[in-house]
Structure 1
Amino acid sequence: MNRTSIKYLLALISICLPLLSAAAKDDEAKMNRFIDKLMSKMTLAEKIGQLNLGAGGNPMVINSNLGLEESVAQGFVSSCGGADMNLQRLAVEESRLGIPILFGLDVIHGYATTFPIPLACSCSWNLDLIERSAQIAAKEATSQGISWTWSPMVDIARDPRWGRVAEGAGEDPYLGGLIAQAMVRGYQGKSLDSDSTLLACFKHFALYGAAEGGRDYNTVDMSRWYMYNFYLPPYKAAVEAGCGTGMSSFNVVDGVPATGNEFLLNDLLRGEWGFKGFMVSDANSVAEIGFHRVGDPEEAARLSITAGLDMDMGSRHYLLYLVKLLNEGKITMEMIDTPCRRILEAKYRLGLFDDPYRYLRQKEDPSKSCLLSDSHVAEARKLAGESIVLLKNSEGLLPLKPGLKNVAVIGPIGKDASQLFGTWSCRPDGSKSHTVAQALQTALGEECKVTYSQGCLETEGYGDYYSVDGTEQSASMIEEAVKVANDAEVVIACVGEPSGWSGEVNSRVDISLPPCQKALLKALKETGKPVVVVVMNGRPLVLSDEDAAFSAIVEVWHGGTSAADAISDVLTGKVNPSAKLTMSFPRYKAQIPIFYNHLHTGRPLGEYNPPAFVSKYIDIPLENNSPLYPFGYGLSYNTYEYSNLRVDKTSAKGEEDSIVVSMDVKNNGSLEGKEIVQLYITDLIASTSRPVIELKGFQKLDFKPGETRTVSFTVTPELLKFYGRDLQYDWESGDFELCIGPNSRDLTKVRIRWDK
């Protein structure tokens, strides 16, 4: 584009922007007039009804025990889980004012087409693919009547014992924020006017990923300074992306349940961040304020409505107590009108007042179904392939060599394709899914015989919920598996966790493989056959024994609809692995929580000799105080050489200055591949303690065999900012290290100076 063209383009933009702004203001004014008129007709009971998300069963309404359908018909239910044409008809055609129902659902990682669990997706570091997965999920969900998803979960999680790490993007606030924004863009698109976009909902606000002991529903306690720097950024990023709704969390913050926490919902979310959408409670969390011993049911309702919680999911406390609280002067009418307006605005922006059946109508016409379309399944396969992390390949077992005649697939997690869908699979459909054995057989062709053996039970005697008494049964299975392995050239050992072992309420004390699976692996090792360990799971596991015993380990997570095909793609080399971990893998369960961006200590390991009085564990080797696999780690079938780190200058001054840091990266392999080049920054001296390093940029790049690329990052003061003791977000003059490398451990550093 020449200078003249640019000049005309800029002139056109300068003309169009005011027109677009004026149109937006007109639309806003039109919406306000509509809602003003509607609310002037609403009774108090109808307004409170808009604050009620009716669950299935028998939700109570004011002074009655009406069932769900009659409650909807009388205008006492605002929203429901799932989608039901009859409920919408009752709301629109039989209620007094015809206010439509908002239908929501936990569309976490796909609808019918199931993508990898979000933790796996984050390991792709591919924001475009992640956004596309949310677009497809929105397209499929809206075609079935859903107009609101309770996703994305953006909680920072550093404790893999917590089952819900599977639902998030891992331990880093920078990457977590970018993924939150990609998900919001994917769900909501450029406009909610489209029939294939829906309302997104960031959750769980706030700090739920820091539940003590990694135990679900447990308490959280941390300083404001710590939460602002490490846990709040992804929520803020979702708000900045225009996320339409948010969900409160089950935990306490500053001793006050998040659902009734005025600092969180009013002061921070709406005051500091300017959030304009509405907030819904997590299921029954208004009622659970009482279990935190903060108030009786009436006080729980008062705390929540006063704090700025707009919608009560499932507890019915707003329906039961708001009228009484209003009559006693404990709350004001404005406290009811304001959330009612926010919820009506969301329905207006979704176009439900113009066409209440716009989403449901598609559900009624199966001929127009987009569920599990070939293109959607192909997208799921691509993202699953880019989410698989090669943890170890020290003897080059992978990719599988051409010409194999007999491959054994052994292990309890490889027997059922449904176990690869993962937690919170919305509407999983296995009709286009395969087992690992099936996928490998297709990939390797008729010349190769792929044999399957279960090998052992998934677990034995593993707590009350998963208790299985099968020691003898597993022993006989191992004997059979050894026979199958002895006839094979290569063994693919599929171990890990079934889908039901991660997600909500699935916290684990011991995140290593169950004893029966360890026994199976030991027996396979003793055959002397080459063994590739394929780990299928929803959280980081302790794999120290496996790392010591085996030369090839692949982390495949729970990959969804196309999981087995993606696993086959990576094992056979059709896809060169490129994923990098977004949660650190501990060597020992006692190291938990372990994460890369921890603060400096006064006695850091590695800076004192002899290392006596330093921060360490005394019953393990010094080098084992680190993670087994660090944040950002992941191998390829290529090796990448990093060299020649340099900056265009070593000092800068002021807000407008910048420094470009560059490094040469060479693909020393014979295959095309992708490498995720990562930029970290260390603040060497600051007014508060700072992390040892912080991720501040990355690029996922394609490399041809033998190709060298110069990778550059532009550093500005924005990347140096943090929240100080006064909780102001700013940067300080000082010395910094700019670090580039393939992961958070293996970095090359250069020192710079930046002054205000």
Structure 2
Amino acid sequence: MKTMKMLSACLLLLPFISCTQVQDTENDAVIEQKIETLLSRMTLEEKIGQMNQISSYGNIEDMSGLIKKGEVGSILNEVDPVRVNALQRVAMEESRLGIPLLMARDVIHGFKTIFPIPLGQAASFNPQVAEDGARVAAVEASAAGIRWTFAPMIDVARDPRWGRMAEGCGEDTYLTSVMGAAMVKGFQGDSLNHPTSIAACPKHFVGYGAAEGGRDYNSTFIPERRLRNVYLPPFEAAAKAGAATFMTSFNDNDGAPSTGNTFILKDVLRGEWGFDGIVVSDWASVAEMIAHGFAADSKEAAMKAVNAGVDMEMVSYTFVKELPGLIKEGKVKKSAIDDAVRNILRIKFRLGLFDNPYVDEKWIEELYAPSHLEAAKQAAVESAILLKNEKETLPLQSSVKTVAVVGPMANAPYDQLGTWIFDGDKTKTVTPLKAIKELVGDKVQVIYEPGLTYSRDKNMVGVAKAAAAAARADVILAFVGEEAILSGEAHCLADLNLQGAQSELIAALAKTGKPVVTVVMAGRPLTIGKEVELSSAVLYSFHPGTMGGPALADLLWGKAVPSGKTPVTFPKMVGQIPVYYAHNSSGRPATRNEVLLNDIPLEAGQTSLGCTSFYMDAGFDPLYSFGYGLSYTTFKYDNVKLSSANLKKEDVLTVTFDLENTGKYEGTEVAQLYVQDKFASVTRPVRELKRFARVTLKPGEKKNVSFELPISELAFWNIDMVKTVEAGDFALWVAPDSQSGEEVFFKVVD
């Protein structure tokens, strides 16, 4: 498939420069003129109809009746191109004004060819993976008539109990900004009006990932400074990348539901960022403001949503029902309706729907193209994270003649696809079991005994049977993790241990004395400390999609080398949550001299343990820090140099360093640049990711690598709520993860 070469330099500078597709101002002027002409011909009912999105249902005649009257602007969840064309034909040829419908669908990490879940794609630290995945999804989905997707999800999420972490890019603001902008680029292509382009919809605006207790739809409390420093930047990056639409989030923040929040929708999105596309509510989130207690009834909910800046309502119908009366009463201005309709028509014109509303009904030709499957496999390879590799257990060598393949995820074609795969086909999935058999042929005997039939299975008879079979093998490959249903929307967990008897399965396998390679396929970080201890090697693959099996087989046998890094911190236990690398320092940070739980003497004095910030039972560190991941080879960082140790605010800092492959395999390292503002008007994080680069080196090869960091990117919202770079002392680290590297200092001067 086509690779978009210009992406890297542009995206790695986000969110601080604009990578927006260059708009033809003359064409925009023509579009605006067409909008005004059409708007002048529309009745109030037709305008409100454009603001109404319905979900497709069985009776096409009923939908056609609404469309003919101009009461529907968008339809979601219709994926039959024959029905899409039939409904579109009613809109174009039988309605009074011939305004096309905008067909929408959740296409989160693939339409038919399923890529790793977005959290997995983020583990690649490769924006090209994100762009290619979105491009494949757009090509396949648009072939079915879909021209709008509700993705990317770019909620910064720091609580793995939250099931929707699977849909996002993890805990880091910068990584999420870069990957999210790449997805926007992939969905929308070089031009929105190309028939294979679909409008992106960054969601959920904003703060949804900070839901209390990791419980979906729950309240958040994010002060404005934290909102602007942590949660808004990925959305600003998406807006600068040209995102056509935005979606409001379900949550209330500090008591104000996002769907009725004028500050974020008007002041920030429209006013500060200049966004001129569609703002759509999440599913029924307008009506749900009643349950929030923010609106007394559907009338007040509709009023607050429209006045806050929502253009289109998804499925709850309060706009159609209540807006005529609200306008008559003067509680909603006609100008607000006109502005909303302008935004909707603008995107329909930019998508080229007025000129090309129909789709080729021979859509099957676009699905599962060889180039799509190859891109999905490469994404799965780059997304896999090697967490442990004791005594170089991996890659498997030619001396291995028998392998035992066990575990509920070894041959789970549906579950390895992950969450949000409405249109995925499990019959097209290549599982690890199938891929391993195809890879090794008759050179290696494969003993398959799953032990557990699914991840929640507690049948110990199967565990004993698997252990007995595995004892005959040279190496045991244990595929464990989560079924797809255990992550995603409304699938939150208070316990992040392996479900069912999977932990007992690993323990039984370890007792055989044979090397155990544990491969985890899941939608979130799990608390797998004890399983890691029992394993000789551990590969973590956030649900890897259609081609996950071949990717993992290649990694296990060394045809590919792991390069993924953790996009989110792995806790040792749930009680550590929230645990993330970019935290502020307390006034009493842990020194590691403190006494832990099992070492406390009897009748110890109250202050004898060290009065610092740590858990007596969990210690000081997470299980795995952000940015962590091993390779089959090793890398050495050396000779870090700065272009200057004293810089002005308008300067660009160049950081150079030597990176050397000191092992025996060719491999790719994700080099990471972290910065800390040492002293500021408000406390700043102990480290923040500012750059990263994938560097491929042959054994013994050394490269001089450089990062360019404009000092302007050190700006933050300060004590006076002004975004600025404050002069003072800074530290930086060039490192393989967020906890490593030698500290280097520089100053910013006025």
Pairwise TM-score range, normalised by the shorter structure? over 0.9
Q: Which residue pairs with 2:525 in the alignment?
A: 540
447, 452, 455: which one pairs with 2:448?
A: 452
Q: Is the counterpart of residue 612 in structure 1 residue 610 in structure 2?
A: yes
SS in 2 for 1:680: strand
Paired residue type of 1:532: V
Contact preservation (8 Å) 1:417, 1:564: no
Counterpart of 1:80, as a letter, is I
How many angstroms apart in 2 are the aligned matches of 1:644 and 1:29? Answer: 53
1:451 Cα offset (Å): 1.8
Residue-by-residue CA offset, 1:400-433 (whole Å, 9 max, x unaligned)? 1114221111001222222111100142124443
Instruction: Say if 1:490 and 1:72 are closer, same or farther in 2 by CA, change over 3 A.
Output: same
- The yes-or-no answer on 1:339 pairing with 2:334 is no
604, 623, 632: which is aligned to 1:628?
623
1:644 matched to which residue of 2? 639
Deviations 1:589-640 (A, max 9, x none): 10011100001111111188786111111234xxx32111100000000011
Structure 1 residues 607 and 533: alpha-carbon distance in aligned structure 2, compared to 1, 3 A threshold: closer
* Match in the other structure for 1:577: 562
Structural mapping, 1:300-319, within 5 Å: 300-319=301-320
* Partner in structure 1 of residue 582 of structure 2: 597
1:434 maps to which of 430, 434, 445? 430
**CA distance in structure 2 between the partners assigned to 1:578 and 1:555 by the alignment:** 11
Q: What is the aligned partner in structure 2 of residue 107 from structure 1?
A: 107
SS across alignment from 1:417: coil
In structure 2, what is the equivalent of residue 519 of structure 1?
Answer: 504
Q: Distance in 2 between matches of 1:563 and 1:337?
A: 48
* Amino acid across the alignment from 2:220: V
Partner Cα separation in structure 2 for residue 619 and residue 124 of structure 1? 32
| Deviation per residue, 1:680-732 (Å, 9 max, x gap) | 00111111100000001111111011111222223331232111123322101
Cα drift, residue 58 of structure 1: 9.2
1:37 is displaced (CA, Å) by 1.7
Q: Match of 1:380, SS?
A: helix
Deviations 1:172-223 (A, max 9, x none): 0011101111111111122112111111100000100001100011111121
Which secondary structure state, in structure 2, belongs to the residue aligned with residue 115 of structure 1? coil
> Displacement, 1:660?
2.5
Q: What is the CA–CA distance in structure 1 between the aligned matches of 2:726 and 2:653, rounded to whole Å?
A: 16
Of 572-581 and 128-137, more deviation after overlay is shown by 128-137
Counterpart Cα distance in 2 of 1:537 and 1:607: 32
CA distance in 1, matches of 2:235, 2:730: 27
Q: Provide TM-score, normalisation by structure 2.
A: 0.92
* Partner residue, 1:465: none
Q: Is the 8 A contact 2:144 2:363 kept in 1?
A: no
Partner of 1:14: none
Equivalent residues of 1:108, 1:151 under 8 A apart: yes
Matches within 5 A, 1:40-119: 40-57=40-57, 67-81=62-76, 82-83=78-79, 84-119=84-119
Note if contact 1:162-1:508 (Cα within 8 Å) is conserved in structure 2: yes
Q: How does 1:149-298 map to 2 (within 5 A)?
A: 149-295=149-295, 296-298=297-299
Aligned ranges 1:338-377 → 2 under 5 Å = 338-357=339-358, 360=359, 362=360, 364-366=361-363, 369-377=365-373
> Residues 653 and 711 of structure 2 are in contact (CA less than 8 Å); yes or no, is this contact kept in structure 1?
no
Q: SS at 2:40's partner residue?
A: helix
- Kept in 2, the 8 Å contact 1:650–1:751? The answer is yes
Equivalent residue of 2:694, what SS? strand
> For each residue in 1:511-568, what CA deviation from the matched residue of structure 2 results, as whole angstroms up to 9, or x when unmatched?
1112411111111111111110000100011011112222211101211110111010
Query: SS in structure 2 opposite 1:634?
Result: coil
- Preserved CA contact (<8 Å) 2:649 2:749: no
- Per the alignment, in what secondary structure is the counterpart of residue 414 of structure 1? coil
* Equivalent of 2:415 in 411, 414, 419: 419
What is the one-letter code of the residue matched to 1:486? A
TM score, norm. by length of structure 1: 0.92
Matched, 1:396 2:381: no
Structure 1 residues 22 and 54: CA distance shift in structure 2, 3 A: closer
Asked whether the equivalents of residues 385 and 630 of structure 2 are also in contact (C-alpha less than 8 Å), the reply is yes
Residues 1:510 and 2:495 are matched in the alignment: yes
Give the match for residue 7 of structure 1. Answer: none
Q: Secondary structure at the match of 1:638?
A: coil
Alignment pair present for 1:477 and 2:462: yes
Question: Which position in structure 2 is the counterpart of 1:497?
Answer: 482
Q: Distance in 1 between matches of 2:442 and 2:460?
A: 32
Counterpart of 1:626 in structure 2: which amino acid?
Answer: D
Please, which runs of 5 or more residues in structure 2 have no aligned partner?
1-20, 595-607
Deviations 1:24-67 (A, max 9, x none): 332122212222221122111110000000123499xxxxxx93
Contact 1:161 1:215 in 2 (8 A): yes
- Of 549, 552, 557, 1:564 maps to 549
Distance 1:76 1:677 in 2: 53
**Alpha carbons 1:143, 1:196 under 8 Å: kept:** yes
Code of the aligned partner of 1:750: V
Distance 1:717 1:600 in 2: 23
- Does residue 407 in structure 1 map to residue 392 in structure 2? no
Tell me how far apart the structure 2 counterparts of residues 708 and 690 of structure 1 sit (CA, whole Å).
34
1:366 Cα deviation (Å)? 4.4
1:725 match: 719
The answer on whether the counterparts of 1:531 and 1:550 sit within 8 Å (CA) in structure 2 is yes
TM alignment of 1:627-706, pairs within 5 A = 627-652=622-647, 654-706=648-700
Does the aligned pair in 1 maintain the 2:75–2:102 contact within 8 Å? Answer: yes
SS in 1 for 2:493: coil
Helix, strand or coil at the partner of 1:413: coil
2 CA distance for matches of 1:683 and 1:29? Answer: 45
Q: Report the alpha carbon displacement of residue 648 of structure 1 after superposing the two structures with TM.
A: 3.4
Give the partner amino acid of 1:503.
G
Instruction: Verify the 8 A CA contact 1:119 1:168 in the aligned structure 2.
Output: yes
Looking at structure 1, the residues matched to 54 and 644 of structure 2 have their Cα atoms a distance apart, in angstroms, of 60
Q: Secondary structure at the match of 2:202?
A: strand
How big is the shift at 1:22? Answer: 12
Counterpart-to-counterpart distance in 2, 1:459 and 1:489: 25
SS of the residue 1:748 aligns to? coil
Per the alignment, residue 4 of structure 2 pairs with none
Letter in 2 for 1:371: L
Corresponding residue of 1:735: 729
Q: Equivalents in 2 of 1:671, 1:335: separation in Å?
A: 62
Q: Which residue of 2 aligns with 1:320?
A: 321
The 1-side partners of 2:520 and 2:729 are apart by: 42
1:658 CA drift (Å)? 3.3
Residue 239 (structure 1) shift: 0.6
Q: Secondary structure at the match of 1:217?
A: coil
Q: Judging changes above 3 Å, is the alpha-carbon distance between structure 1 residues 683 and 156 closer, same or farther for their aligned structure 2 residues?
A: same
Q: Is the 8 A contact 1:211 1:219 kept in 2?
A: yes
Give the C-alpha shift of residue 443 in structure 1. 1.3
Residue pair 1:679, 1:738 contacting (<8 A) in 2 also:
yes
Indicate if the aligned counterparts of 2:506 and 2:534 stay in contact, CA closer than 8 A.
no
Any idea what SS the aligned residue of 1:33 has? helix
Paired AA for residue 396 in structure 1: E
